[in-house]
Amino acid sequence: MIRHVYGRVAEDDSDEESAVIAQTAEDDSCAVINTNGTRNSRFARRMSLTCVCFFLVVFLVVGFTFFIGAVAFELPVLSTLAERYMTVSERFGVHYPARRRQDPPAYVKSAVLNVIQQGLLGECRAPGSVYFTGPEINAMHYIWVTTQPGCTLKLKDEYYCAVESALEHLPGIPLTIWIVQPPQAYVTAKITTSWWACDRLGHIPIPTRSGVRNVTTRPIVVTNRSILGRWYSEPENCFFLWTFKPRVPFAEISDFFRVLVLQQYGGLYTDFDFVLISPQIRFIEDGAGQEYTGVKSLGGHSVANSFLKFSIGSSALDDISMDMLKRIGDGWAPITFSYFGMASVTSTYLDHRIRKGCSHMAWTAYGRKTIFKMSEDECVDFETGVVISMHKKLQNRNNNTCQGVVNAFRLSCPVALSKWDSKHGIARV
């Protein structure tokens, strides 16, 4: 009995011990499970972070590739992206001068390439830099666009200063004012009065300090020897140029013919409100002027076409011409000013700059503050920089103008300046 009782007791003790062992084992098992669970959770978090980073990198690469493709092919989506970017940035105080609702894709492309050029590669000519390595200017051209009949033209008072300055600083260089009139199809459709085209050479007297000089006026002659000439020789094309928008500004007609004239004859073209102020200009390198500073220097008109110097047969002019013909029929041309003028010169220059590099280009964009004088620090520019021309009309000058500008007018067009001052009652300083 005792043994039985003791046996039960012993049996009970054994059961208790087994239960304790089992409980301990169970506790150990839970500990293992909890440890593995923590490890799995950390692994999962790491995998999630890795996946997020991977997809973010893929998204950025795909987005960047798409953006580069959109820029390269000037896709319309660029206009929408740029418009939204400007809308958001304006909320943070960024101001965009003369901003339209949307800019053409070509202008967005130019802005991207300008950022690359100015921020990474550097401009071919720094501000204040221009080379006088030639070739020598062989001819000087102005374009006079008119719908008036005959060969008579009347220059504005301020234009005499520009022409006088060209005669002063480019002695011996032939100077021609080309008369551009609409084609007969345009005359028939748009002009109801008696009309006849200019068909002869003429002259316009320009007073200078050396006496009166006769400058040749000549009706434009379009030949098949140039890309633009071949295009304009087609009757439907010449009519289209004069009618691609309801009222085509004469400046945009001039955009076309200034490049055509340089293709056919080579030389220097300037607008009528450009005053040449240095004889060094005779040997200026081939190129175009840069007018703007600040945000506008990144835009689609950053390289202007109001001062163009090219040798006859220049391949750069051929590329500019091809870009012009691509844009003239674009849907943006009727609603955008100088879309195949300044925009084509800018686009072609940036394309050459990125693809070829400065050392392999046959032309350049002159350094800012050499051709144009429109900055607020123009007096400082005249004192420290290399200034060869200024885009400034006589009517924008007053008695408070800095001495550098005053001297430039006095040296370059003294007769026109004197007549202007007398006519408008401005005292000489």
The model's pLDDT over 90-114, given as tens digits with 9 standing for 90+, comes to 666 666 555 555 688 888 899 889 9
Query: What is the per-residue pLDDT for 46?
Result: 77
pTM for the model stands at: 0.81
- Residue count of the chain, please give it: 429
The fraction of the chain above a pLDDT of 70, given in percent, is 78
How far is CA 286 from each of CA 130, 170, 176, 282, 413, rounded to the nearest angstrom?
10, 16, 19, 11, 25
Structure tokens at 111: 């802005």
**CATH T-level fold of 140-365:** Spore Coat Polysaccharide Biosynthesis Protein SpsA; Chain A (3.90.550)
- Tell which wins on pLDDT, 410 or 321: 321
Please state, rounded to an integer, the average pLDDT across all residues of the chain. Answer: 84
Cis peptide bond prior to 135, omega within 30° of 0: yes
**pLDDT per residue as tens digits for the range 40-74:** 777 777 778 888 888 888 878 777 676 666 666 67
Helix/strand/coil percent split, the chain, to 5: 50, 10, 35
**Sign (positive/negative) of CA torsion 108, 113, 116, 117?**
negative
Non-local (6+) Cβ contacts of 37 within 8 A are: none
Query: What is the per-residue pLDDT for 4?
Result: 47
Q: How many other C-beta atoms lie within 10 A of the C-beta of residue 77? A: 12
Give the residue ranges of DSSP H helices in 125-277. 159-169, 184-190, 227-232, 235-241, 250-265
Yes or no: say if 182 and 222 are a contact pair by the CB < 8 Å rule: no
**With 70 as the cut, is the pLDDT of residue 208 above it?**
yes
Give the residue carrying structure tokens 């609603």. Answer: 335
Query: What is the per-residue pLDDT for 408?
Result: 86
**pLDDT per residue as tens digits for the range 240-277:** 999 999 999 999 999 999 999 999 999 999 999 999 99
Yes or no: say if 177 and 142 are a contact pair by the CB < 8 Å rule: yes
In three-state secondary structure terms, 304 is strand
